[in-house]
Structure 1
Amino acid sequence: MSDQRPRGLANLKWSFLFFMVGGALTFVPFVGLVGGLFYIVALVFLIVGWRDLGRSTLAEAPRYKSTGSWLIYSIVIAVVVAVIGGVLVSIQFVSAVPALGSTPPSLQAIYQSQAFRNLESEFIAVGGAAYIAPLLAWYRVITSLMRLAEEVSQPRLKTAGWLLLTLAVFGLGSLAVFSAMLYTGVISFPTPTTAGRLGAFYGIYYYLSFAGYGGVVILVLSLVAEGLLILASYMGYKGLKGARLG
């Protein structure tokens, strides 16, 4: 079996490049949604890259192979949890719709109903539960990246690892802030009227349509997170490029 190290390093390099471009696109209104596609491609390259390194002659090859597996399993678990949780919450919501008294209730009435507002905490719980497995897999990626930095003598990869760890911690803090603000009523999900029909196409600036000053807070947190991702991806890309040349 041939050494897959060059191929694995190349795929990881492409992964960080797509993460970097995807993060940059999120700052641009209307094309920010395209950034999500770049993230998907980056994730594929990330999985394939670690799997390739698992078939290399590197000392930590078994760990790298398992890192790719962790990513695959985390995606499956997150999807299953999100689907099951979403179905359960939807059943509760549908059973509460008749209480609105309108026959049939309009979309605007449903969106502004107390029944929908009462289920916001359930939506947060489902999102948090689905977030656990990917978070653990992401930590595995970070530690593997730091091990790889030592093996290929590329300090930039270790810097990228620390930046990704900072991003993970920052993301947890942001999620806690968002959940607390939503639960206490400081902010609320925007209605179709306040968001506008093209609201989603404004990318992360969509948060400005949230009621209260909380939308601005969430937007700032999102911008900082994207900045950390871009910087970490740049360091990872440069480190892997140097590893391939070395």
Structure 2
Amino acid sequence: MKNEFKNKVVWIIGASSGIGAELAIQLNKLGAFVILSARKHKELLAVQSSLEFPSESMVVEMDLEQSELFESLAQKIVDKKGKIDFLFNNGGVSQRGNARDTSIAIDRRIMEINYFGNIALTKAVLPYMITKKSGHIVVISSIAGKFGFFLRSAYSASKHALQGFYESLLLEEAEHNINVTIAYPGKINTPISMSALTADGKANGKMDHNQATGMPVEVCVKKILVAVSKKKKSVLVGNKEILPVYIKRFSPKLFWKIIKNQSPT
């Protein structure tokens, strides 16, 4: 992999655990200055202390439901580092609840975090990239952004929405030399199911079998970074669970026969 990240300023959202934390570790090792953001300040400090070069990092606490603060946070980073080369939009919340049992308030909250919070941050960073005529936005979506699945109606909807937004953005901002990569991870060994919202809005508090037996997060992140370094517009990351994406495209009837028998957890 060609090192596209050395001496770059990289802002990572959702950096307190899982894919976000591993992105911070690997990018820091590759020579990037990493800005670690999430709601959990204590966990961010723990990730920072685990970096190979902790002095080449900065913690900026943020909440994706507080989009009114994003412009000032972006300005804070630019004032400190002079630029933002990469934005890794990895923050979000998953779901474990049937659509029929989930209130519209929970649907709205998931959409606010996963979609509106995500694109609001991009809109806060974009002017700096346009001025510099350079930048790369990386969106960590999900395999659920390619097809709906049990217990994830609002989550899947939010990820489908991201695809529409960012595929439009990459066309619009190509003239400013701004790249967009959308990553679609499948079953990855992260704690995402623990904080997933149930139908009543509470944290699921359980580790899914699918996550526990999924691709190691270190492997997932390496694959994402290879795709980003090659400026790919999208990348599917996972094992056999990514095959239904291709099956749905070429044999929809077979897809629906297969997917209905998959375990939701």
Using the size of structure 2 for normalisation, the TM-score is: 0.28
Return the index of the structure with the highest Cα Rg. 1
Q: 1 or 2, which has the higher strand percentage?
A: 2
Using the size of structure 1 for normalisation, the TM-score is: 0.29
Q: 1 or 2, which has the higher helix percentage?
A: 1
